[in-house]
Amino acid sequence: MGGDQGPDEIVAGALEAATPGIVPVLFGPAGLDTGGLEVVEAPDAIGMDEKPVEAVRAKPRSSLVAACRAVGEGQAAAVVSAGNTGATLAACLFKIRRLPEVDRPAIAVVVPSRQGPTVLVDAGANADARPEHLVQFAEMGAIFAEEVLEISRPQVRLLSIGEEPEKGNQLTLEAHQLLAQSGLRFGGNVEARVLLEGGAGDVLVTDGFTGNICLKLLEGTIKSLLDALRDEIYASTRGKVGGLLIRPAARHLRERLDPDTHGGAYLLGLRGIAVIAHGNSSRRAIANAIRLAARGVEHRLVERLSERLRTATPSVLASARSRPPSPQAR
Amino acid sequence: MGGDQGPDEIVAGALEAATPGIVPVLFGPAGLDTGGLEVVEAPDAIGMDEKPVEAVRAKPRSSLVAACRAVGEGQAAAVVSAGNTGATLAACLFKIRRLPEVDRPAIAVVVPSRQGPTVLVDAGANADARPEHLVQFAEMGAIFAEEVLEISRPQVRLLSIGEEPEKGNQLTLEAHQLLAQSGLRFGGNVEARVLLEGGAGDVLVTDGFTGNICLKLLEGTIKSLLDALRDEIYASTRGKVGGLLIRPAARHLRERLDPDTHGGAYLLGLRGIAVIAHGNSSRRAIANAIRLAARGVEHRLVERLSERLRTATPSVLASARSRPPSPQAR
């Protein structure tokens, strides 16, 4: 029931993704036409503007909460939602729960740079974070990059306002020191200007506020720029002809950069797989989000995260768990 | 002596900007060929990678420090620098000094959205800021928009990760409340996705870390995207012909979005005018930065800021000055 385009688009995406190896189960009202896919009745729905925690508590029979519960109880291998992001996060935390090794689950998004994928983490789960959390985001992002994207020894970089270790805010200055000692392949600070071009590392670490702003700015800028170019081109006859001729090239670029191509973001650090799709996901985006979730299941992402976090950088993680809340980031 | 392109490009830009009403004075080594412009001897230079505060203290005879001193002592009306941004900031604070009404000077950049200019403030002067500082950034940005860009009753918005007042990090949650009570024309939170399209308000307020990251991400994404499109177009013969035909349209767009067109960023809150140009500024960018500085002088920006801040929102500003440092943003 989530998403801006209504249940029909979600159902169509699920049908598109269904294969002998991927069996989508839909959660929604009884009468839903699912084209033959299994439907689990969930009579309630959480709106895009409802307050996340309150809505999840008040609506245990919503499609979102019921789907997360199915993952938490082992009836499904992964959940995909195009609904209210905050509510999805809350429902995942309550119903799927954190891995015991993880302090703060984080959102990982694959940014398609010109030189290859960069995993941006945290892209919005934790608006305020402590330096130790950023180290764990880096750990999780690196494991994700290695296990799911098959990048060996992924390089981790820290998003900041200059490449030098002493440039940044208090959070990044402290996180830089911890990352340098973490045992990760740390490439130092990097500026946001290289995010789309490439050079931001295999894993780019930041707090969820900054990460979410970057993600939205990136998406919005790509869309505005391509729209503005189209308008400029179609303002003249000469341009119109040129526009027809460059259409395949422009389509190729749009394809690489379209968020629908990637389908969604992983919520890392849970006891199950959760993929958060865009609110305005098309059927194609939903199908890709389901495939993305399936890839995490195939690669045993949850088990690998749990195993590797248990053994990785014990000193840093232990200090992250035992240290009292730091005053500068509540 | 600042900037990546060497003094020749700076001199050429100064010559281009010189008119009977704008008299550039250059600061640099004695032998500099300035094409007839006045040169004040400053035998030292601060490199792009030097530590700002240390360098400014150690090099009082550098071109940067000498130029700022000239503004502080009333021998020049404004300073323009394409040098080390941190050092420029430090030299301005030491030699031009803050207005007594201002707690933290901030960098204001005019972002050319499709619907008109948006003043992004702070674009990098304060990596950590308190909620009260954001209110003062908003005040200064609004006065700048009104006095220099001639926007009447500018709308102020707060950069966050959702439009609802309860979405954001601790800094924006508290700043939202203060802005709502400030007497400014506050339009609430806004997401970064609309920055280039328009809709982010006449003044977009954020801390200097987030603002600097947004500015660099915006510039980097525009450049990468246009470069990628060119590569896609020139990969086929058909595309090459199309590329020739759309060239005027693409040039028009590049012109609007090129940082060189705007020339630089204002450092607001000083007792004089300072414009920070890009490190890689061309002569055209330098000329535009000088014109931007001259516009601030013509509009009596410093006097207007001082007058209006003295009378504006006394309660909020008084609390900003009397309140002890907040624990969450040192």
Is pLDDT of A178 > 90?
yes
Please give the DSSP secondary-structure letter assigned to residue A309. Answer: H
pLDDT score at B80: 97
For chain A, what are the domain ranges? 6-101+262-299, 110-259+303-322
pLDDT band at B251 (very low <50, low <70, confident <90, very high): confident
Nearest to A235 among B114, B128, B249 (CB): B249
Q: Chain B window 280-319: which residues touch A at a Cβ cutoff of 8 Å?
A: none
User: In Å, how far are A144, A329, B252 from A182, measured between CA atoms?
Assistant: 17, 21, 48
Q: What is the pLDDT of residue A255?
A: 81
Quick one: pLDDT at residue A323? 45
Task: Give the CA distances from residue A249 to residues A230, A243, B34, B291, in Å, rounded to whole numbers and listed in that order.
Answer: 13, 10, 46, 39
Q: Which pLDDT score, from 0 to 100, does residue A325 have?
A: 42
Given this chain, do its domains A6-101+262-299 and A110-259+303-322 carry the same CATH topology? Answer: yes
pLDDT digits (tens, 9 = 90+) for A4-35: 888 899 999 999 999 999 999 999 998 888 88
Residue B286 burial class via C-beta count within 10 angstroms: exposed 0-12, middle 13-18, buried 19 and up:
buried
How many pairs of residues across A and B have Cβ atoms under 8 Å apart? 206
**What's the pLDDT at B313?**
52
Query: In this complex, do B166 and A51 lie within 8 Å of one another by their Cβ atoms?
Result: yes
Give me the residue from B191, B225, B252 closest to A196, CB to CB.
B225
pLDDT for A248 equals 86
ipTM of predicted assembly, 2 dp? 0.90
Strand partners, B120: B109, B204
B304: pLDDT strictly greater than 70: yes
Give the pLDDT score at B320: 46
**What torsion do the CA atoms of B59, B62, B68, B71 make, to the nearest 10 degrees?**
120
Q: Which of A207, A213, A216, A254 to mutate to test the interface with B (most CBs of B within 10 A)?
A: A213
pLDDT in tens, B257-296: 877 777 789 999 999 999 999 888 899 999 999 999 999 9
Answer whether residue A235 shows pLDDT above 70: yes
* Binary contact (B253, A236; C-beta < 8 A): no
Contact at 8 Å (CB) between B21 and B77? no
The pLDDT value recorded for residue B325 is: 42
Q: Residue B294 carries which DSSP code?
A: H
State residue A32's pLDDT score: 86
- The secondary structure element, H or E, covering residue A120 is strand A116-121
Which of residues B80 and B320 earns the better pLDDT score? B80
pLDDT given for residue B143 in this prediction:
95
Chain A residues touching B233 at Cβ < 8 A: 246, 249-250
Q: What secondary structure does DSSP assign to B137-152, as a single string?
A: HHHHHHHHHHHTS--S
Q: What is the pLDDT of residue B78?
A: 97
Give me the mean pLDDT over the A43-51 stretch. 90
DSSP code at position A185: -
> What residues of chain A, 25 to 84, have a C-beta less than 8 Å from chain B?
49, 51
pLDDT classification of A324: cutoffs 50, 70, 90? very low
CB contact under 8 A, B161 and A127: yes
The phi, psi pair for A110, rounded to 5°, reads -90, 115
Write down the CATH superfamily of domain A6-101+262-299: Isopropylmalate Dehydrogenase (3.40.718.10)
Q: How large is the average pLDDT for residues A97-118?
A: 94
CB proximity A251 to B under 8 Å: no
Instruction: Tell me the percentage of chain A whose pLDDT exceeds 70.
Output: 94
A242:B239 CB<8 A: no
- Kindly indicate whether the domain formed by A110-259+303-322 is annotated with CATH number 3.40.50.300: no
Of A225, A228, A246, the CB nearest to B246: A246
